[in-house]
Amino acid sequence: MKGGKNMALRESFERELARLHEDVSSMGAEVQRAIVRAIAALDHRDVERARSIIAEDEAINEHRFRIEAACHGLMATQQPAARDLRTLIAALMIIVDLERMADHAKGIAKTVILTANEPSFPPAPDLRRIADRVRQMLDQGLQAFATGDVALARRVCEADDEIDHLYKQLFNVLLSYMLEDPRTITRCTYLLWIAHNLERIGDLATNVAERVIYCETGHLQDTNF
């Protein structure tokens, strides 16, 4: 980036872009927190915590619209081009992905409430692995957006295959439980729902990483097959 008098030409736009980055990061942190709390609510079968996740989702939605409006304003007034334009487009798409991730966290919380009176879940270590990996993907995706780290973004995209593999493995394990003991069918089905929510969060984290790659390189690519 050039210094000196040239920067003064667009100082206020630079400030707005920096603020946009901060806003997306802080929305990302809220979403991460919702996901972490949803997993904790599941671990502890904590209905109160699950309810609060559902209640807090509204604030995340509002945050998204605030950022969206700010992007619209910058597009209308600054005529962004090149990287500036790509940054705004990436931000607009990332906040939608983040909002959907929060919806999936809410989905997990709802399942926690629905299953409150079910007996304990059968052991499913792959579910824990999926949860940990997905959280890490989102964390790295947001970090890549904040720092413009394309290599990190690519690693997030690659991790998605691992999630798909774990998801299939978990599916087979749960299927075997259900075949062995049909009384577990309800519980196992709920666990599959939860795994599906986590798997979708992984896909959306991949989208975030793809947007970072677009923002930094100008190349649109789909790494989800």
- Binding string to another protein for residues 32 to 71, with x set by CB under 8 A, is what? ----------------------------------------
Distance CA 49, CA 51 (A): 5
CA-closest candidate to residue 143, choices 59, 205, 65, 71: 205
Please say whether the beta carbons of 132 and 181 come within 8 A: no
Please say whether the beta carbons of 24 and 116 come within 8 A: no
CA distances (Å), origin 224, targets 148, 157, 203:
21, 8, 7
Does residue 79 interact with another protein by CB under 8 A? Answer: yes
Does residue 10 interact with another protein by CB under 8 A? Answer: yes
Q: Which of 37, 86, 106, 211 binds another protein (CB under 8 A)?
A: 86
Q: Which is nearer to another protein, 6 or 172 (CB)?
A: 6
Does residue 172 interact with another protein by CB under 8 A? Answer: no
Which tokens belong to 26? 């802080």
Does residue 148 interact with another protein by CB under 8 A? Answer: no
Min separation Cβ 152 and another protein, Å: 21
Q: Which of 45, 56, 80, 223 binds another protein (CB under 8 A)?
A: 80
CA distances (Å), origin 190, targets 80, 181, 196:
46, 15, 10
Q: Which is nearer to another protein, 92 or 112 (CB)?
A: 92
Q: Which of 73, 119, 182, 218 binds another protein (CB under 8 A)?
A: 218
CA-closest candidate to residue 119, choices 55, 54, 185, 58: 185
Instruction: Count residues binding another protein (CB under 8 A).
Output: 17
Q: Is 49 exposed, middle or buried (0-12, 13-18, 19+ CB in 10 A)?
A: middle
Segment interacting with another protein (CB under 8 A) among 32-40, 77-85, 110-118, 121-129: 77-85
Q: Which is nearer to another protein, 80 or 122 (CB)?
A: 80
Distance CA 51, CA 28 (A): 21
Does residue 85 interact with another protein by CB under 8 A? Answer: yes
Q: Which of 48, 76, 81, 151 binds another protein (CB under 8 A)?
A: 81
Min separation Cβ 9 and another protein, Å: 5
Does residue 18 interact with another protein by CB under 8 A? Answer: no
CA distances (Å), origin 11, targets 1, 5, 6, 24, 75:
12, 10, 9, 20, 16
The residues of the shown chain that bind another protein, judged by CB under 8 A, are 1-2, 5-7, 9-10, 13, 79-86, 218
